[in-house]
Amino acid sequence: MPATFVIAGGGLAAAKAAEALRAEGFDGAIILAGREPHLPYERPPLSKGYLQGSDERQKIFVHDADWYRDHAVDLRTGVSVTGIDPATHHVTLSDGERLRYDKLLLATGAGPRRLTVPGHDRDNVLYLRTVDDCERLRATLSAAGRIAVIGAGWIGLETAAAARAAGVEVTVIEQERQPLLGALGPEIGAVFADLHREHGVDLRLGARLAEITGAGVRLADGTPIDADAVVAGIGAVPDTELAAAAGLTIDNGVKTTADLRTSDPDIFAAGDVANAYHPRLGRHVRVEHWANALNQPAVAARAMLGRKAAYDEPPYFFTDQYDLGMEYLGHVPPGVAHDVVIRGDVAGREFLAFWLRDDDTVAAAMNVNIWDQGDQLKALVLSGSPVDRGTLADPTVPLDGLGGPGRPLS
């Protein structure tokens, strides 16, 4: 009998896995089951172009419906995998159907972390994770006079930028002393704080939310803030319920090897849900960004077909806010202090930033509104070689060759 591969999830990682399996020559059955009623789509436009109305809806989809038919992918929209029986190699679907699989890929993603303060269940509290969430938020921004955004992470700041573009007054409430503190540190977080203040955002840092009221929100110090709607962007939680119930190893996501194999040899995981061993970094890493969902499925597909594979790309993410475009490559473990070296014009928001370890190797690099240095930045991150800090900061010295010969990042 031809093999049957089941993909649990309906996002970018799921669609790219089906694509990769066919590209690798797999001619068995592929069943892709996603709980949303839509074709698999990409999430970055939901907080960027599609939210702001500059991208058409059709641009968010990974493939059109014809692609799944032409590539013999049995796409089940609005139907999710609700149970896994690893012993018998069966999954149960939400419509009651029971399917046998030879290999199973978990691409269940992550869900928004929910508010728990009083008033969290009010109708005007919004989240941004799905295309339906995005369309509700778009409608809100077209009608609201002012909103409160809880959290100054990527979703919160991109939502704030979209709201300001729509002419909506915005207050951002963040308990840390700078935006993006955990992701970028205080120096670069300050860049984003200044950016949003210049565009009229009322940025409340070091502030805690106490309650959502009928008129807006109330802070822990008693300060009331008027808002027609509240948008929560306080992080995401990997969707591990299915994997945990099946007895797979869970540790900040579904724990996998470098080839994205879980603790069950016939079950794999990719995208936001996967806490994968990274051979360059020498540790497990779970990254909730587009690049993993885009690129990990090809590795999982090869491993599902019994071929040698490992995902060793450095983590990557990007953002677009107002006139600031940024790309970040590399990995700085949370809570580990790194020195930041800047090259370029921070005030003019055209610069490069480098996060250096104690041994002067480059752990991560970022370009802000400079678009011709991507290959050089990646080479520096991958090299693992010490650099001279003064040379790194000097824009007159080419980046080529600064990192020397490559070696693992760890």
CATH number of 4-111+236-304: 3.50.50.60
Give me the helix-helix angle, 181-198 and 154-165, nearest 10°. 10
Q: Which residues contact 303 (CB under 8 A, 6 or more apart)?
A: 259, 260, 261, 268, 309
Is there a shared CATH topology between the 4-111+236-304 domain and the 323-393 domain?
Answer: no
CATH architecture of 114-232: 3-Layer(bba) Sandwich (3.50)
Is residue 406 classed exposed, middle or buried when 0-12, 13-18 and 19+ CB atoms within 10 A define those classes?
Answer: middle
Question: Distances in Å between the alpha carbon of 72 and those of 38, 87, 381?
Answer: 18, 27, 40
- Whether residue 293 contacts residue 309, with contact meaning beta carbons closer than 8 Å, is answered with no
- Could you tell me where the DSSP H helices lie in 305-364? none
User: Where are the domains positioned within the chain?
Assistant: 4-111+236-304, 114-232, 323-393
CATH number of 323-393: 3.30.390.30
Q: Would strands 324-330 and 362-368 be described as parallel, antiparallel, or unpaired?
A: antiparallel
Q: How far apart are CA 151 and CA 172, in angstroms?
A: 7
* One-letter amino acid of 112: P
**Per residue of the chain (410 residues), what is the pLDDT tens digit?**
689 999 999 999 999 999 999 999 999 999 999 999 999 999 999 999 999 988 999 999 999 999 999 999 999 999 999 999 999 999 999 999 999 999 999 999 999 999 999 999 999 999 999 999 999 999 999 999 999 999 999 999 999 999 999 999 999 999 999 999 988 999 999 999 999 999 999 999 999 999 999 999 999 999 999 999 999 999 999 999 999 999 999 999 999 999 999 999 999 999 999 999 999 999 999 999 999 999 999 999 999 999 999 999 999 999 999 999 999 999 998 777 789 999 999 999 999 999 999 999 999 999 999 998 899 999 999 998 999 999 999 999 999 878 654 444 33
Question: How far apart are the C-alpha atoms of 247 and 334, rounded to whole Å?
Answer: 28
